[in-house]
Amino acid sequence: MSRSNRLPLSEIHTIQLDQSDPEPLYRQLYRAVREAILLGRFPPGIRLPSSRAFARELNLSRNTVVNAYDQLTDEGFLERRHGSGSYITETIPDRYLRAQPKQAEDKPKPKSEDTGLSQRGRRLATQIDTPRSEKLLPFMPGLPDLAQIPLERWSRLVSKHWRDVKPDMLGYGNVGGLPQLRKAVAEYLKACRAVTCHADQVIITAGAQQGLDLACRLLLDEGDTAWLETPGYHGAQGAMISAGIQPVRVPMDREGIDLAAGKKLAPKPRLIYVTPSHQYPTGITMSLARRLDLLANAETWGSYILEDDYDSEFRYDGRPLASLQGLDTAGRVIYVGTFSKVLFPALRLGYLVVPDNLIDAFLAGRCYLDRQAPSITQAALAEFIESGWFLSHVRRMRHAYAHRYRVMNELVKNVLSPWLSADPTPAGMHLTAYAKGPLDDQAVHQEAKKRKLLLRPLTDYYPDRKGPSGFVLGYAGFDETQLRRAAAETAALLEHAGSVSEQ
């Protein structure tokens, strides 16, 4: 064989290995040779130096080169010829051999239409700016007080259930959730939320969002109609889009979702999403008359109502309101709840309460999402509820959040009043403040992030961000000192933005 068919030693010296890299040297060498083959620098049919010669040129051990050669041979990049040596395979199709890559700065950014997403995927991806990591900044909505979590007690429970774990807890569990937890949730909801249910109707989910997604997937076909409160929760909108439909945005009035407006926009919807106890984000409580009217219409139309009761435990003026589901006599309400707001978001446990005739279908659908929630976590939570610690924690947090609600109202009235106003809504974990004059809440939101504040723009909750300007101010996760400091920072920001309205 002519020497021209051998790889020149000069090509070997183009390979750069990093001795300080934790990746083994043979893996680095394997990757470098593979890349050289794919880029055409080591052409098909060329003979590589012997492992001993290769090792000598790069000052490596022979075993390092042998291991790299073995890996390349196993994957088909090299072929061994008895008595002759190792050769670059000649069977790699030309279309797999890549041209030299451009420098990173020369690579064109992909256009949105080039992503390969479905139309549904493109709609979903453009609904919100998804944070890569959610920083816990003052005024973040929906954040409980993480400093008040009974971590020592919770840790003991989790440790106990791991320590005493039985083999069946480590396998595939009940798709609907651990029976003890389903029973504990059912009893809690009956006692505290006037939900009419038994344990089999409770399906444990990975948070409320998975519950919304499951309900929309199982109840909606492309072309169906679903109502969504406007302004409204974009998690529900995302679940509807994932199911293949664009929701009909139905406006609110002082009693809740405007049924008359909804009938004009899209009569007889298949699904109606509502947050009746504390509408998100306006804080409106749906009146009894509107609740009964909604239930009657749903029964007539054959519609299902998706009741999201996300922070109903926190009401500061009288007792928490009974659920809409508890008034339902026709099996038209699917109830969604979560432990993220009462305990902590990282717990990732929520639940659905579904009518009896939907139990089997929802269990089957739940199986195809992620099969089940973690069994040990469910067991710990079940005991946490059964022991009374859960109700004790809810009562303690209700007291703390009631004080913060009053502080937040005072701050809007006394510190932020030149720019913002808010209607009293003594419930929940946030206050919605409306701009008194012209204000670009999106621009203020971006500037606020530079000051370590999260001022969620109210326009985010309207289609195409066309709605009244303002902010959704979360107060539950921050103590009084943090709230006062954040309000002062917000006032300085708004004054700097030149957003002062006429008094």
Q: Which of 336, 354, 388 is the last residue of a domain?
A: 388
Mean pLDDT (whole number) for 125-151:
78
> Within a domain: residue 122?
no
pLDDT in tens, 338-363: 999 999 988 899 999 999 999 999 99
pTM of the model: 0.77
Residue among 502, 499, 501 at smallest CA distance from 441: 499
> Within a domain: residue 129?
no
Confidence of residue 43 (pLDDT cuts 50, 70, 90): confident
CATH number of the domain that 377 lies in? 3.40.640.10
CATH number of the domain that 54 lies in? 1.10.10.10
Say yes or no: 426 and 381 in one domain.
no
Say yes or no: 308 and 449 in one domain.
no
> Is 239 in contact with 216 (CB distance < 8 Å)?
yes
* Alpha helix segments (H runs only) across 328-479: 359-367, 375-386, 389-414, 441-450
Say yes or no: 294 and 419 in one domain.
no
Q: Is the pLDDT of residue 1 over 50?
A: no
Say yes or no: 473 and 339 in one domain.
no
Say yes or no: 91 and 215 in one domain.
no
User: What is the C-alpha to C-alpha distance for residues 126 and 465, in angstroms, rounded to an integer?
Assistant: 12
> Within a domain: residue 450?
yes
Say yes or no: 336 and 403 in one domain.
no
Tally of CB atoms within 10 A around 457: 22
> Within a domain: residue 55?
yes
Structure-model confidence comparison of residues 131 and 120, the more confident one: 120
Mean pLDDT (whole number) for 61-86:
88
What is the pLDDT at residue 99? 55
Mean pLDDT (whole number) for 265-270:
95
> Within a domain: residue 327?
yes
Q: How many domains does the chain have?
A: 3
Residue among 189, 160, 187 at smallest CA distance from 377: 160
- Domain of residue 364 covers 149-388
What is the pLDDT at residue 377? 92
Q: For residue 33, give the DSSP letter.
A: H
> Within a domain: residue 452?
yes
483: burial class by Cβ within 10 Å (0-12, 13-18, 19+)?
buried
Bond before 179 cis per omega within 30 degrees: no
* 163 φ, ψ (degrees, to nearest 5): -65, -35
Would you state the structure tokens that stand for residue 155, as one six-digit string?
A: 């840790």
Angle between helices 208-219 and 359-367 (to 10 degrees): 110
pLDDT in tens, 417-441: 999 999 888 888 999 999 998 999 9
> Within a domain: residue 143?
no
pLDDT in tens, 6-21: 887 778 888 888 888 8
Confidence of residue 36 (pLDDT cuts 50, 70, 90): confident
CATH number of the domain that 419 lies in? 3.90.1150.10
Say yes or no: 457 and 315 in one domain.
no
| Residue 373, CA distances (Å) to 52, 62, 338, 366 in order | 54, 50, 13, 10
pLDDT in tens, 92-106: 766 666 655 544 444
Say yes or no: 377 and 469 in one domain.
no
Q: Is the pLDDT of residue 456 over 60?
A: yes
> Within a domain: residue 144?
no
What is the pLDDT at residue 12? 82
Q: Which of 332, 356, 388 is the last residue of a domain?
A: 388
For the four alpha carbons of 490, 492, 494 and 496, in that order, the dihedral sign comes to: negative
pLDDT in tens, 197-234: 999 999 999 989 999 999 999 999 988 999 999 999 98
What is the pLDDT at residue 134? 61
Angle between helices 389-414 and 179-192 (to 10 degrees): 50
Confidence of residue 503 (pLDDT cuts 50, 70, 90): very low
